[in-house]
Copies of this chain bind each other. A is one copy, B any other.
């Protein structure tokens, strides 16, 4: 069979989370079987970590934002009342705790190149990579919320392209610190001579750039992965170029096969243009499942979930992501020409996945249905697994971020009913094999020689 009709390997499967009350499907925190009100406690996350490792998820993937979704109606009230990625506690603080009770589970966490400082950020990731023995991945974002910009001293957000320019320099600095500052044999820990490290094998980076000056050297010795596994989710033209150059795993903004194939083509082209091997990039889709013993039972459960969805929350979320307050547009407006890449992409996603919503009026109607974020797969375990396999093949997808509807119910269902069947078909790993995150995904703990991280010089 050709490479196009068969998944090449077991799927990468991550549990999608947020250090928050409400994520993914807005309003579901109020479902009587949802446990996310406990998100502030250590026990909540230790239980989650053990559960995800027991199920052999590759990683838990943490989304994050640094501000409120206050675009819709120009108010933060809808996001606060409906807990739209709110509160937003720091997800990185969960990783060491979850690592303390697991051996193999990976941790992918969102951190922003717009609001972190590259020196502190690099130190933090390296420290975590040490503690976890190479189990961390960084979901690189440039942050899209204007409210986040205002929390970090800007009266106005940098433009989309400026954010990516800054991100380029941010990564250049990160690579210098992670890959170039310490020679592999710098640490000698020679007790006889009382020499911990050889000074001539540790190098200042003396970076002087447009936005940052960072002298170095890096303060952390080389960790298992040196550079954390690099995730990205860029969908705009510039985002794709960035992802193709830097990212090792890309979380796609669409679950529609044609869009995914197109995204692969673009990302692989960008990777090749940056001197990389297209095989060094993996693509993930989003995945939500609603399972029942019969198709009718699954459908009934979907409808029961539906009652808890918050239309206001979904609108607040979409308007924040797209940067457009739908309350300010005529109902028959169509987002297309003259809009930014990002808004077009967001609108297009809904026009494809959201029951062909073309106008603002149709979009607004569409919120308050579970399909408004990701179209869930609804059915018996066999039906769901068939559909997952079909999506993986048709979209040539390497894996999925499995997203919650009701927690922990959605994951319990996935673990109990779907994972064993995926394993039977060779679509999920039987065992972890190795605990290192990059090593599990790519067979080696370090970035390949063709990655641009190796091209920076100090």
Residue of B nearest to A67 (CB): B219
- Bound-state Cα–Cα, A19 to B99, Å: 17
CB-based contact B199/A77 at 8 Å: yes
Q: Which of A88, A100, A308 has most chain B Cβ within 10 Å? A: A100
Q: Indicate whether A96 reaches chain B with its CB closer than 8 angstroms.
A: yes
CB contacts under 8 Å to B, within A86-106, are: 86-90, 92-97, 99-101
Q: Indicate whether A274 reaches chain B with its CB closer than 8 angstroms.
A: no
Residue of B nearest to A186 (CB): B80
Number of copies of chain A assembled together: 2
Residue of B nearest to A49 (CB): B100
What's the minimum C-beta distance from A226 to chain B, rounded to whole angstroms?
Answer: 13
Q: List 30 A-B contacts (CB under 8 A).
A: A21-B196, A27-B194, A29-B196, A30-B194, A30-B196, A40-B221, A41-B130, A41-B131, A68-B217, A75-B199, A77-B199, A81-B196, A86-B196, A88-B123, A88-B220, A89-B127, A90-B123, A90-B127, A92-B93, A93-B95, A97-B131, A115-B120, A117-B117, A117-B152, A147-B215, A150-B213, A151-B215, A154-B213, A155-B213, A194-B308
Q: Indicate whether A32 reaches chain B with its CB closer than 8 angstroms.
A: yes
Q: Indicate whether A1 reaches chain B with its CB closer than 8 angstroms.
A: no
What's the minimum C-beta distance from A128 to chain B, rounded to whole angstroms?
Answer: 5
Q: Indicate whether A83 reaches chain B with its CB closer than 8 angstroms.
A: yes
What's the minimum C-beta distance from A19 to chain B, rounded to whole angstroms?
Answer: 7
Contacts of A150 in B (CB 8 A): 213-215
CB contacts under 8 Å to B, within A167-204, are: 189, 191, 194-199, 202
- Bound-state Cα–Cα, A393 to B21, Å: 50
CB contacts under 8 Å to B, within A53-91, are: 66-68, 75-77, 80-83, 86-90
CB-based contact A197/B81 at 8 Å: yes
What's the minimum C-beta distance from A41 to chain B, rounded to whole angstroms?
Answer: 7
Extra contacts besides A30-B194, A82-B194, A96-B97 (18): CB < 8 Å: A37-B189, A40-B131, A41-B130, A41-B131, A45-B131, A46-B100, A66-B120, A68-B219, A76-B199, A76-B202, A76-B217, A80-B199, A82-B195, A89-B219, A90-B220, A97-B131, A150-B213, A152-B214
Indicate with 1 or 0, residue by residue over A226-245, a CB within 8 angstroms of chain B CB atoms. 00000000000000000000
Q: Indicate whether A216 reaches chain B with its CB closer than 8 angstroms.
A: yes
CB-based contact B199/A42 at 8 Å: no
CB-based contact A93/B42 at 8 Å: no
CB-based contact A90/B124 at 8 Å: yes
Q: Indicate whether A22 reaches chain B with its CB closer than 8 angstroms.
A: yes
Contacts of A196 in B (CB 8 A): 21-22, 29-30, 80-83, 86
Q: Indicate whether A126 reaches chain B with its CB closer than 8 angstroms.
A: yes
Contacts of A45 in B (CB 8 A): 131
Q: Which of A93, A124, A221, A223 has most chain B Cβ within 10 Å? A: A93
CB-based contact A151/B119 at 8 Å: yes
What's the minimum C-beta distance from A3 to chain B, rounded to whole angstroms?
Answer: 39
- Chain A contacts to B: CB under 8 angstroms: 19, 21-22, 27, 29-30, 32, 37, 40-42, 45-46, 66-68, 75-77, 80-83, 86-90, 92-97, 99-101, 115-117, 119-120, 123-124, 126-128, 130-133, 147, 150-155, 189, 191, 194-199, 202, 212-217, 219-221, 223, 308, 310
Contacts of A128 in B (CB 8 A): 90, 93
- Bound-state Cα–Cα, A50 to B195, Å: 30
Residue of B nearest to A101 (CB): B100
What's the minimum C-beta distance from A394 to chain B, rounded to whole angstroms?
Answer: 37
A-B complex: 6 closest residue pairs judged by Cβ atoms: A77-B199, A83-B196, A150-B215, A96-B97, A90-B127, A40-B130
Contacts of A223 in B (CB 8 A): 40
Contacts of A127 in B (CB 8 A): 19, 89-90, 93
Contacts of A153 in B (CB 8 A): 212-214
Contacts of A189 in B (CB 8 A): 37
Residue of B nearest to A123 (CB): B90
What's the minimum C-beta distance from A74 to chain B, rounded to whole angstroms?
Answer: 13
What's the minimum C-beta distance from A119 to chain B, rounded to whole angstroms?
Answer: 5
Contact of A42 among B100, B117, B221 (CB under 8 A): B100
Contacts of A76 in B (CB 8 A): 199, 202, 217
CB-based contact A152/B86 at 8 Å: no
What's the minimum C-beta distance from A222 to chain B, rounded to whole angstroms?
Answer: 10
